[in-house]
Amino acid sequence: MSVPSPLMLFRRVAVAEAVTWAGLLVGMFLKYVTDTTELGVRVFGMLHGVVFIAYCVTTAVVAVDQRWPRGRALLGLASAVPPFMTIWFDRHAERRGALAREWRLVLDDPATPLDRPVAWLLRNPLRGLATALVAVLVLTGVALLVGPPG
């Protein structure tokens, strides 16, 4: 199993985050404006929450591998909050050369404490994917325990 490039992985997750935002916004319109159903909010609220967390995990992994400065990493994370900003950030990062077509830590030796776990995730793709999925599930569970925003 090969890992998609940082550019392709980030783009896929950024688009998925924006699509689930759109579904949630439609669901909110149906629930609060037309007062017809809250099914869209139930379905897309949960789906968007999971994809939001997956986007944040992906952003953290890509930021470490691509050696993003702290400001870029924070901007990437913050772009998940306003609707559709993940797509803007994806394009912004690509234009600035911040999303490579190769993973640095697949071949390079980890140089920092944050590099080590990211290198392990990338060098062991099946275990890395399983670890990322568990992280998303655990963080989703924590979010559910804390409660919905607002």
- pLDDT tens-digit map of 121-150: 999 999 999 999 999 999 999 988 998 766
Q: Is the pTM of this model over 0.85?
A: yes
| pLDDT score of 49 more than 90 | yes
Task: Let me know if residue 102 belongs to a domain.
Answer: yes
pLDDT of residue 40: 86
Task: Let me know if residue 113 belongs to a domain.
Answer: yes
Task: Let me know if residue 66 belongs to a domain.
Answer: yes
Domain that holds residue 108: 6-145
Which pairs from 110-118 meet CB under 8 Å and 24+ separation? 114/64, 115/64, 118/61, 118/64, 118/65
Task: Let me know if residue 140 belongs to a domain.
Answer: yes
| pLDDT score of 2 more than 80 | no
pLDDT of residue 20: 97
Burial of 67 (0-12, 13-18, 19+ CB in 10 A): middle
pLDDT of residue 149: 66
- pLDDT tens-digit map of 74-87: 999 999 999 999 99
Task: Let me know if residue 150 belongs to a domain.
Answer: no
pLDDT of residue 127: 93
Task: Let me know if residue 112 belongs to a domain.
Answer: yes
Task: Let me know if residue 1 belongs to a domain.
Answer: no
| pLDDT score of 97 more than 70 | yes
Q: How many domains does the chain have?
A: 1
